[in-house]
Each structure stands twice: as structure tokens, then as C-alpha cells.
Amino acid sequence: DTGVSQDPRHKITKRGQNVTFRCDPISEHNRLYWYRQTLGQGPEFLTYFQNEAQLEKSRLLSDRFSAERPKGSFSTLEIQRTEQGDSAMYLCASSPETSGRGEQFFGPGTRLTVL
Amino acid sequence: GEDVEQSLFLSVREGDSSVINCTYTDSSSTYLYWYKQEPGAGLQLLTYIFSNMDMKQDQRLTVLLNKKDKHLSLRIADTQTGDSAIYFCAVNDYKLSFGAGTTVTVRA
């Protein structure tokens, strides 16, 4: 399978703990995006990378959130001192820079539950 | 961010056509997209339309775009039970803005 993969698929944690999610994009896709989706809503943009450079961050991404893509391949999203409001599905997507259509291909998501 | 609005629910009989509507506020998107999400899964890109087109047909899917009214629709012909899912329209050229999704239920 050469699609976008995310790990873990589910994470349950206690409030105040740190969590880290991983995303492996489609190979050769140099753009990588993180979105957050809460129940009954569409995904909301969090941040995106072109290669290893983080080019934009949403105001939704508080100081407790940090994302990296150190070698321009996989990416990690860390949430420190989790809060119950962080409970959501975290989606990763990738796209090729050369695609004029800009379509993004999504992974299956990581569902976070903060108790 | 963008305002993208969709009706929340649609119930359709198997074999009939489904029409899902979407309105948006920003007209600068080069492409507009439709995604499908099945329970517990990520989003699957169904189709897209270039902003200078009025219509695009892709097998059972027809996308209509009215730029003047900022209205996008997705028609699914001969709706099947496998089409039951949540459908999202999305606009913007990189940081996609999504509607809340339309839950389509196909009844026998």
C-alpha cells in the first residue's frame, strides 16, 4: 500500500500527558498537511510543510502543539500537556508540489481521546 | 478562514440520484473538491473541478459550479448502498477549508 499512513490509529491518554503522532506521506510528495477533525465537523487546517520547511501554522495550533518534518519525509505532531478539548481525529495529508490540481491525499487518521 | 456550508443530512432511495449542495464565501480557489468519508476512516478524494469550468462529469458523479452564486453541487447517479457516507466539499488552494459534511443515507 503506497498511501498515506498514520500511527497510531487510536490513542487514549490522561489529561496532562504528552502524545506524539506520526505520518508517513506518499513517497515523492513534498507537501504534507495536518488537520484536526472534531465530531460532526469537517477537518480544520493546522499546519503544512514543503519538504522540511514548516510554511504555515493555523492559530488553532497553540504553543502546546509542535510539528516537525526533519528530513522532508515523515512528520510528527506532538501535543504537550493534553487537555480534554484536544480530543479529536488528527488527519495527515500529502500532495505533490508539481500537481497543479493541488489535490491532497489523506491518511486514515489518529483518533485521540483525552480522559 | 473560509465559510463553507453544506446541508447536514440527505436520505435517498437506492437507485435514485443524490444531490449534495455546498456554498462558499471565497472565490479565489483554483480548484474545488469533493471528498468522501466512511465511518472511522480518512477522507477519500472523489472529484474536483477547475474554477473556470461549469460542469464536470466523472462516471456516476457530476459536479456543477456556479461561480456567481458561489455554489457547488455533487450529483451521484444511481445511488448505491456503498455510497452511504459523509461528503465534504472543500475549497482553497492549499490549506483546505471544509464544510461540516453531508451525511448521505441510502435506503433500500
Residue A2 φ/ψ, nearest 5 degrees: -110, 20
Name the residue with cell 447517479. Answer: B77
Distance CA(A65)–CA(A35), nearest Å, equals: 12
CB contact under 8 A, A102 and B94: yes
Across the interface, do B48 and A103 touch by the CB < 8 Å criterion? Answer: yes
Kindly report the nearest CA distance between residue B4 and chain A, in angstroms: 10
List residues of chain B with CB under 8 Å from any CB of chain A.
Answer: 1, 4, 30-31, 33, 35, 40-45, 48, 50, 88, 90, 93-101
Q: What is the average per-residue pLDDT within A55-82?
A: 94
Nearest chain A residue to B51, by CA: A101
pLDDT score, position A69: 96
- Name residues whose C-beta falls within 8 Å of residue B2's C-beta, 6 or more positions apart in sequence: B24, B25, B26, B91, B92, B97
The amino acid at residue B13 is: R
**Residue that the C-alpha cell 471565497 belongs to:** B26
| pLDDT top residue among A72 and A49 | A49
3-class state of residue B83 by DSSP: helix
Per-residue model confidence as pLDDT tens digits over B32-49? 999 999 988 889 999 999
Nearest residue to A29 (alpha-carbon basis) of A89, A105, A84, A80? A105
* Closest by Cβ to A56, choosing from B1, B41, B95: B95
Rounded mean pLDDT, A90-102: 81
The rounded distance, in Å, linking the Cα atoms of A45 and A108 is 16
Nearest CA in chain B to A48: B95
Q: Cα–Cα distance between B73 and A24 in angstroms, integer?
A: 32
Is the confidence at residue B1, as pLDDT, over 60? no
- Chain centroid offset of residue A33 CA: 6
Given an 8 Å threshold on Cβ–Cβ distance, is A104 in contact with B45? Answer: yes
Contact yes or no for A114/A13 (Cβ under 8 A): yes
Question: Residue B105: CA atoms inside 13 Å, Cβ hemisphere, count?
Answer: 5
Check if the beta carbon of residue A7 is closer than 8 Å to that of residue A110.
Answer: yes
